[in-house]
Amino acid sequence: MKDLITAIGLLLFIEGLIVAMFPSRIKNMLKMIENIPNNKLRLTGILFLSIGFIIIWYIR
């Protein structure tokens, strides 16, 4: 459970750091995301989910 909380904290830290460093770039990316079809976003999400799972599985 401690590892899960640490991972969530690290994720929030990295996300917050990126938004704090590049706020205008984040706004531009969010506008671009509106034009991407849902299926492509879903497949991208599944791809990153799979890569993350493989990394965690390999490390553990």
**43/49 Cα distance (integer angstroms):** 10
pLDDT for the residue 36: 95
pLDDT for the residue 4: 87
- Write the pLDDT tens digit of every residue in 3-56: 889 999 999 999 999 999 999 999 999 999 999 999 999 999 999 999 999 998
pLDDT for the residue 3: 86
Within the chain, residue ranges assigned H as helices are: 2-21, 23-33, 38-59
Residue with tokens 């990295």: 14
pLDDT for the residue 59: 84
Write the CA distances from 47 to 2, 25, 37, 41, integer angstroms. 26, 23, 16, 10
* All structural domains of the chain with their residue ranges: 2-59
**15/9 Cα distance (integer angstroms):** 10
